[in-house]
Amino acid sequence: MNSEFDNALAKVTEDTFASMAFVLPLGEQDGGEDDAPPQTSASIRFSGPFGGSLTLSVSSRMVAILADNILGRAERGSASPEEQQDALKEILNVICGNLLPRIATPSDMFHVSQPRFLSSGDAAESFVDGTLAAAIAVRFDCGRANLSLYLDRPATVSAA
Amino acid sequence: MSLNILIADDSIITRAVIVKILGLIGIELGEIHQATDGRQALEVLDRHCVDLAFVDINMPAMNGEEVVEAIRSNPLWADLPVAVVSTEGNEERIARLLSMGVKFVHKPFTPEAIRKAVSELIGTTHELRV
């Protein structure tokens, strides 16, 4: 694994969660409100100068909060299961779209697949393309997000 | 005058947020048509009068760039104000879209970014808030 990839992925993840869902990353010393294990996942594939996949996992409680926040609903738990799944997929889509220019160059063109929600019956391994390039856990004020980036060939983090 | 809007994005959440923002910035909304892919977006344009369109790039069936090309090549829709809302980071593709007269809004977007795009597309005839 590559710490530059970890840092790039963490930065894009923090920015995306803050911009879309108004949740803030916690510092090392901060206690977490919810440290439940991530059990809700989505995955996305991409191809271009290099290919790979990115998987995002959060707890069921956290995905409900993210969906409510994005939709601007004050009442907790008001987002439907479909909206919650869509929120997770769209967050992943935005993370992936903003990560790729950082680990490639702005002139590189990628094709990004539709993000897919992984139900409990899906084997996460079947959505893995290549070797593990980054794996991070980012703690937010409403829970923890785990992300894994797989690449089918070596890439370097750009200055962007 | 109220505006008929088309929002083409496969994300329910994104479509809902754009509708909410349009209300917040003071657009007088008429009909709101939603499409989950590019083909549906063109079907909406075929059947309805639309004043302003928001189009994602990464959609199933037909991507947003193809939708914009179809819009610009059809004399009935060629002048339709279009905002492309996407995570796209490829400079060449963005330049190609801008050359087709669209406004580009990068995801994740803020209400201000949507307001700015709308203002530049139709602002001369509408008083916008924010």
pLDDT per residue as tens digits for the range B19-74: 999 999 988 899 999 999 999 999 999 999 999 999 999 999 999 999 999 999 99
Nearest to A90 among B14, B20, B110 (CB): B14
Task: For residue A114, give the 3-state DSSP assignment.
Answer: coil
* Cβ-contact A55, A148 below 8 angstroms: yes
Would you say how long chain A is, in residues?
160
Residue B101 has pLDDT above 80, yes or no: yes
- What pLDDT was estimated at residue B43? 97
User: Do the Cβ atoms of A111 and B57 come closer than 8 Å?
Assistant: no
The mean pLDDT value for B75-85 works out to 97
Question: B20: distance to nearest CA of chain A, Å?
Answer: 8
The kind and range of the H/E element at B55 are: strand B52-55
Query: DSSP assignment, residue A113?
Result: P
Contact state of B13 with A90 under an 8 Å Cβ cutoff: yes
Residue B112 has pLDDT above 80, yes or no: yes
Distance from CA of A11 to the nearest CA of B (A): 14
In the numeric block, the tokens 């079947």 are attached to A126
Say which residue the tokens 């499409």 belong to. Answer: B35
Whether the CB-CB separation of A87 and A19 falls below 8 Å is answered with no
Cβ neighbourhood burial of B128 (10 Å; 0-12, 13-18, 19+)? middle
Q: Which of B12, B60, B107 sits opposite A97 (nearest CB)?
A: B107
Q: Which of A119, A145, A131 is nearest to A5 (CA)?
A: A131
CA distances from B64 to A41, A145, B35, B88, B93 (A): 26, 30, 11, 11, 11
Asked if residue B3 has pLDDT above 90, the reply is: yes
Q: Which helix (H) or strand (E) holds B30?
A: strand B29-35
Q: 55-84 in B: which are within 8 Å (CB) of A?
A: 58, 60
Residues of A in contact with B87 (CB under 8 A): 93-94, 96-98, 112
Strand-by-strand arrangement of the B82-86 sheet: B29-35, B3-8, B52-55, B82-86, B103-106
Q: What is the mean pLDDT of each run of 10 residues along chain A (160 residues)?
A: 87 96 81 68 94 94 96 89 96 96 88 88 64 94 94 70
Q: Is A90 on the interface with B (CB under 8 A)?
A: yes
